[in-house]
A and B are shown apart, each in its own frame.
Chain A
Amino acid sequence: KAGVTQTPRYLIKTRGQQVTLSCSPISGHRSVSWYQQTPGQGLQFLFEYFSETQRNKGNFPGRFSGRQFSNSRSEMNVSTLELGDSALYLCASSSLGRGLTDTQYFGPGTRLTVL
């Protein structure tokens, strides 16, 4: 099976712009979670989608949003970018989102740089 894929891998934006990142989960996985990784704050949970519904949300401002499509692919959007949004954004998928074998498998990440 192909792993979790994320596009683009690298992105450079300027303050005030918006950005959309994409994640394709492992085939058959229905849960997609997003994490932000920065040197200062480490890995922080953004949100989780399951069957096109946001099921869990971390402590991020409303500028961060996401959605999931019927094929389980997910996008996250950040509006009005700030310098502090520069980070590695990681997407993870799992089959059901809870249960014995529902471990999360991560993609390679999208590195966003805000200038």
Chain B
Amino acid sequence: GEDVEQSLFLSVREGDSSVINCTYTDSSSTYLYWYKQEPGAGLQLLTYIFSNMDMKQDQRLTVLLNKKDKHLSLRIADTQTGDSAIYFCAEDDNAGNMLTFGGGTRLMVKP
């Protein structure tokens, strides 16, 4: 079955880069996503990557995809205190509109 795994917690200092990692199992996924959730809020789509891409950059965000190892990472450059949140990676099921989410990584940014 599908399973998406993430580390639970990451702490960085303001101005440093953050790297959040994710492993997935469904090799048929078309897209892989990163969502951000702030306290009391819903999920905000940060970025997504098509499964035939290796890298995607969007301003401070860089997504790397290693299909062979089924490993996805999100790098946030120049991390700010406002980046403190829970980050979820997700894969789609390639058949409909169903996402399977990882357990989320709580990013804490210290000033």
With a CB–CB cut-off of 8 A, which chain B residues contact A42?
Answer: 101-104
**Contacts A48-B96, A106-B35 known; A43 to B42 CB distance under 8 Å?**
no
- Cα-based distance from A105 to B31 in the complex (angstroms): 15
- Report Cα–Cα, A103/B90, bound state, in Å: 11
**Chain A-chain B contacts (Cβ-Cβ < 8 Å), number:** 63
Chain A residue with Cβ nearest B94:
A98
Closest beta carbon of chain A to B89's beta carbon, Å: 11
Is B42 within 8 A of A109, CB to CB? yes
Q: Which residues of B contact A (CB under 8 A)?
A: 31, 33, 35, 41-45, 48, 50, 88, 90, 93, 95-104
Chain B residue numbers with a CB within 8 Å of A48 are 96-98
CA separation between A74 and B50, bound complex, in Å? 29
Contacting pair A104 B96 (CB below 8 A): no
User: CA of A103 to CA of B33 in the docked complex: distance in angstroms?
Assistant: 9
Q: Among A35, A43, A97, A103, point to the contact of B96 (Cβ < 8 A).
A: A97
A38 to chain B, nearest CB (A): 11
Q: Which of A14-22, A50-58, A62-70, A78-86 contacts B (4 or more CB under 8 A)?
A: A50-58
Given contacts A42-B103, A43-B88, A106-B35, contact A31 B45 (CB under 8 A): no
Does A72 make an interface contact (CB < 8 A)? no
Q: Can you report 15 residue pairs joining A to B where beta carbons are below 8 Å apart?
A: A33-B98, A35-B99, A42-B103, A42-B104, A43-B99, A43-B104, A45-B98, A45-B99, A55-B97, A56-B96, A90-B43, A103-B45, A103-B48, A106-B43, A106-B44
Residue of A nearest to B88 (CB): A43
18 further interface pairs, Cβ-Cβ under 8 Å (given A33-B98, A103-B33): A4-B42, A31-B97, A33-B97, A33-B99, A42-B102, A42-B103, A42-B104, A43-B88, A43-B99, A45-B100, A48-B98, A56-B93, A56-B98, A90-B43, A94-B97, A103-B48, A106-B44, A108-B42
